[in-house]
Structure 1
Amino acid sequence: MSDITVVGGGIIGLSIAWRLVARGADVTVLDGGDEGAWHVAAGMLAPGGESEHEDPALIRLLDRSADLWPAFAEELGVDVGYDKTGTLSLALTADDLAGRARLWTRQQLPLLRPSELRSLEPALSVRVRAGVLASRERQVDPRRVVNALRERLSDRIVPKRIESLSDVDARVVVVAAGCGTAALTGLPVRPVKGQVLRLRGEPGLLRHVLDAAVDGNEVYIVPRADGEVVVGATQEERTDRLVTAGGVHDLLRAALEIVPGLAEFELTETTVGHRPGTPDNAPMLGRLDDRVVVAAGHFRNGILLAPVTADLIAGVVLDGQDVADFSPRRF
């Protein structure tokens, strides 16, 4: 019998296992082989991006995890694309500006004129009306993070798909299976479909992460140092894995409205992932019963919340701590 088994080989499950191992625990990771939401995610670390709509406890959790990310990335010991340049949040129309102004005011971010924005990002469209620089926001490459974690845990990962927690022979089972958590635990974790594009061109066209509203649709553009640019993401209450013409069209049109120069980039990948959502869109962290611990339902914030989730779940498993605000028992 294993002492602790983590069910789920994505960024949440691996981060938890890594933290548990660092504290001396005997851990096995069961990886069902599915590429979870992390594989599609752009890796924006933006704790304040939606603070107007979030619960105060979740805002505090997002902020806490953002503060943990520099040390977390450094501990991995390899380049995981952690970048501190910041995010330019943009509005292209008067309506978009009106919709975003309240949030920017709450964040106490000074409004930048188009000329100031283009001095930071010369490739921006002349249509950009206003924006702000969120200098605290970061980005990381989730695929690099997961690869690094897999390397460090390679002797503890077992390729195995399970249908029931009764199939797991362990004293403690940590369920970090993303959308698959619902079938294993009965908890209300729903899949929220997101389509994401990856482009590639000469490095240097963009430095900052960009997020904007284009005709009422939110879009983000995340540049990597190697010339990759991630564009996303649709948000659809659907379970299929189809890349649709409409989804690709909407994302590309919005991206080119913001950065016309992306028209010359190669479209290298179209992908679909499913964010694990909960009824209140906050994660479930903590004990479900005496044996089962849950770490799931991170919705849009799985990458950002990986470090704090790892610390909290290690505290639950090894120290008997409680995460009252996010207990899975609330459902």
Structure 2
Amino acid sequence: MEIVVIGAGIVGLAAAWRTAGRGGAVTLVDPAPAGGATAVAAGMITPVSELAYGEEPLLRLNLAAHDRYDAFVAELEEFTGTATGYRDDGLLQVAFDSDDLAVLDDLRRFQESLGLPVEALTGRECRKQEPMLAPGVRGGLLAPRDGSVDPRRLAAALLAACEKSGVRIVRRRAAGVVVERDAAAGVRLDDGTVLRADRVLLSAGPWSGDLDGLPAGTVPPVRPVKGQVIRLRTRVPFLRRCVRGLVKGSPVYLVPRADDGEIVLGATQEELGFDTRVTAGGLWELLRDARELIPGVTELEFAEVTAGLRPGSPDNAPVMGASDVPGLVLGTGHFRHGVLLAPVSADVLSAALLGDPVPEVARPFSPDRFSEVKR
């Protein structure tokens, strides 16, 4: 079966690799594979710490992805010989003041009501876990099963795995989907070349709705949500694990890498269309809040600043599965969870492309949940 995947971010790469491994003849189309939001993301694998009220179905999907991560990374690293920077040593979530602590306490009760492993800590216990925390930190939560991965290394490993599995990489922009007899029949590139296909996977992030040739409403609205991120560097041990904090209601996180001294500080969340400018205000807010929690952050080396665009669906949950156009599969709208959801997205989208049953945990995220909106 000939399959064309549009978009080589984490989700598109993972789906292409898994599909090729199951016998599909896959072509991957992207002018800059492993770029975009993938190259900006911090790589938090935190289904417990990032739980939100009303998102229980998404929690189940996130946990299913988390449960797959060990095996997914082990298979990928063995296949390619490329390390991904995967860590499963937990996340510490801390509160700056009493109001922030009350928010975390409410979150803890919600987490515990769902049977999630989390431990409440005093301020002193938080500082024992992470000695660089400010003396005024009021308390926090330890999620021992949360973790992180380096998205740049993960994407590099997935790209290598695709190439090793025979995936054809076309470094061009997809301009449109070819539809014949009401079914997807291929992809048209920006130079006019047509790639014929039996199935097409559209995984182009916030650009997923921009392709020509599709009937109106085929792709649910996917909007860009800007995130600015700072990469810092330390030459001495600084943080033992991911730290996420609330500072007067504003969230901030720091994600340390295990072997190169990099610490990722993020991230803003801005509804500004396709604006990817890095702004002084955005960086100032991140550094201001990080300094309140970890004063020593101002002594770290300034390495890089970037901004990326997360793809947000109308309900901020992923859109995965067969579309209304036969032969066209959607894999977009992952918002903040693209890296976390990579293992389960690979399984779900591969199944959809090859005509196999989609895992039950992913069924609430089918494109058809927006059918009423379209009508």
TM-score (norm 1): 0.96
Matched with 1:250 is 285
Task: Give the Cα separation in 1 of the matches to 2:202 and 2:329.
Answer: 6
> For residues 163-201 of structure 1, what are the alpha-carbon distances to aligned partners after superposition, in whole Å with 9 as ceiling and x for unaligned?
111214211000111111121254300000110000011
**Aligned residue runs from structure 1 range 226-237, under 5 A:** 226-237=260-271
Aligned length: 330
Matched, 1:259 2:283: no
Task: Give the Cα separation in 1 of the matches to 2:12 and 2:100.
Answer: 38
User: Are the equivalent residues in 1 in contact too, given 2:104–2:141 (CA < 8 A)?
Assistant: no
- Secondary structure at 2:336 match in 1: helix
Gaps of 5+ in 2: 113-117, 179-187, 189-194, 212-217, 371-375
Matched, 1:314 2:350: yes
Matched, 1:86 2:90: yes
Matched with 2:329 is 293
Q: Given the alignment, which residue of 201, 222, 243 partners 1:174?
A: 201
Superposition deviation, residue 224 in structure 1: 0.8
Superposition deviation, residue 117 in structure 1: 1.2
Task: Give the Cα separation in 2 of the matches to 1:54 and 1:135.
Answer: 23
Matched with 2:184 is none
Matched, 1:205 2:238: yes
User: Are the equivalent residues in 2 in contact too, given 1:203–1:228 (CA < 8 A)?
Assistant: no
Alignment-mate amino acid for residue 262 of structure 1: V
RMSD: 1.4
Matched, 1:284 2:311: no
Distance 1:84 1:203, change over 3 A: farther
Matched with 2:21 is 22
> For residues 302-325 of structure 1, what are the alpha-carbon distances to aligned partners after superposition, in whole Å with 9 as ceiling and x for unaligned?
000011010011111223424531
Matched with 1:329 is 368
* Percent identity (aligned): 45
Matched with 1:61 is 61
User: Are the equivalent residues in 1 in contact too, given 2:232–2:300 (CA < 8 A)?
Assistant: yes
> For residues 193-232 of structure 1, what are the alpha-carbon distances to aligned partners after superposition, in whole Å with 9 as ceiling and x for unaligned?
1100000111411111000111221001101121100000
User: Are the equivalent residues in 2 in contact too, given 1:93–1:129 (CA < 8 A)?
Assistant: yes
Matched with 1:9 is 8
> For residues 272-302 of structure 1, what are the alpha-carbon distances to aligned partners after superposition, in whole Å with 9 as ceiling and x for unaligned?
0111001111111011121100000000100
Task: Give the Cα separation in 2 of the matches to 1:221 and 1:266.
Answer: 14
Superposition deviation, residue 50 in structure 1: 3.3
Alignment-mate amino acid for residue 5 of structure 1: V
Task: Give the Cα separation in 1 of the matches to 2:232 and 2:348.
Answer: 36
Task: Give the Cα separation in 2 of the matches to 1:101 and 1:133.
Answer: 12
User: Are the equivalent residues in 2 in contact too, given 1:182–1:190 (CA < 8 A)?
Assistant: no
TM-score (norm 2): 0.85
Matched with 2:115 is none
**Aligned residue runs from structure 1 range 31-50, under 5 A:** 31-33=30-32, 35-50=35-50
Deviation larger for 51-60 or 231-240: 51-60
Task: Give the Cα separation in 2 of the matches to 1:53 and 1:194.
Answer: 22
> For residues 4-63 of structure 1, what are the alpha-carbon distances to aligned partners after superposition, in whole Å with 9 as ceiling and x for unaligned?
011111110000011011112111101132722111110000112232324322111011
Task: Give the Cα separation in 2 of the matches to 1:177 and 1:234.
Answer: 22
Task: Give the Cα separation in 2 of the matches to 1:57 and 1:26.
Answer: 33
